[in-house]
Amino acid sequence: MYSIEVDHIWKKFKKGESFTTLRDHIDYFLKRSLDANYVLAKKEFWAVENISFKARKGEILGIIGANGAGKSTLFNILAGIVMPTQGSFKIHGKLAALIELTAGFHPDFTGRKNVYFNGAILGMTRKEIDRKFDDIVKFSEIGDFIDTPVKRYSSGMYARLGFAIAAHVNPEVLLVDEVLSVGDIKFQHKCMKKMKDLAKKGTTIIFVSHNLAAVQSFCKRVILLERGRMVEDSDPEEVIALYQQKVLDSEIKDLQESFEDEDEQESKEYCSGQFNFVELYSSHNKKTDVFEFNESITVRFNVQVYQPVERPIFFVEIVRLDGVVCCEAVGKAQEFSLDVFDQQGTFNVCFSNTHLMPGVYFTRVSLWDEKFLTPLIMASRSVFKVESEEIDHSESVFHSQTAWEKEP
């Protein structure tokens, strides 16, 4: 039996319009009442396009994607906050949604009053709330602050009380957004355990998060959204791997574009010369931007100087995407029998046995004079990948061969 049925949902907004919550609607009409010139942009866009899926009773379904992918819009449609422009959806049974930290709370009410206020919004009777009140307070770990106005609560306290109320409604469908990310790790684990218990009892859970580790360990199925469209719906490992690759490709593209912008800046900043090209070659002397693990990497570059450089020093670095310098090579004048460099030339340096972990890197090349105080020319170029079928991605820089043994 399906608890959630989504059938070809589309949602259109206008540029400048952000009616994703009730608060957005109120803010807009307040601004219109105070400023007659406040108008929305005319250009329309689809925040969600042609999304269909079903979720079974007791299923835990994760939804991931970059900012602007449509996660919040889809979430708010399912929560009943906004209606789709086209398409339809059905929620079978009682629904509880954790949307914003302050949603369903009155800031001037105490935590105690807000338990009743929020509980009533979620469909609980006063008798139900009376019966579950102590369990809600105990789970939230609010303690004596239950009689303090919630406007004095921290974001973590808001999240704890909000989740405690929603979880004790015993909903057939529970929608959870990034609201839990503000809590401490201990309480997050407590919430995960509670949601797993609810799922075992038949609650269908939609879990929207940027925390991929939590999604992979918690969800049995994951949907990936991209620019409002559903691009994948499968098991967590497969979908998360696809998403990570898309993020990586996007970062590589951004990095390459930033290098192009830097080219223009460098031509103005470094008046001593320029790097005409920087290329990478494999161990088979093939130009490439993809290397196998532990394959030798040859950096080939052409540099041109506008004035003579005495005893030049060439500096080549391999840098990880996050800026960590993984290895470097220094080429001094005596290695090239080059006391004075006064024209242009092509140079090669081979990095062998690098043991670089699978990931994305780029090269940074520079030319210095013998004083080695500041670069005469510098350029970041040649984004490349290191791949391996046997070694997973890691935060470490290098992979070392290790041998384990247990002493008798």
Residue pair 209/215 in contact by the 8 Å Cβ criterion: yes
Return the pLDDT at 219: 94
Return the pLDDT at 179: 64
Write the pLDDT tens digit of every residue in 255-314.
877 776 666 665 556 668 888 899 999 988 999 988 988 899 999 999 999 888 888 999
Percent of the chain with pLDDT over 90: 46
Domains along the chain?
Answer: 2-245 (3.40.50.300), 270-387 (2.70.50.60)
Tokens 């290191």 belong to residue: 386
Write the pLDDT tens digit of every residue in 80-114.
989 999 999 999 999 988 876 667 788 899 999 99
- C-alpha dihedral (351, 353, 354, 357), degrees to nearest 10: 140
Residue pair 215/207 in contact by the 8 Å Cβ criterion: yes
Gyration radius of the chain over CA positions: 29
| Range 119-143 average pLDDT | 91
Helix axes 155-167, 111-121, angle to 10 degrees: 50
The DSSP call for residue 149 is: B
In this prediction, residue 40 has a pLDDT band, given cuts at 50, 70 and 90, of very low
Q: CA of 172: how far to CAs of 88, 265, 364, in Å?
A: 19, 58, 56
Mean pLDDT in the chain? Answer: 85
Write the pLDDT tens digit of every residue in 366-397.
999 888 788 888 887 788 988 887 766 566 77
Who has greater pLDDT, 22 or 189?
Answer: 189
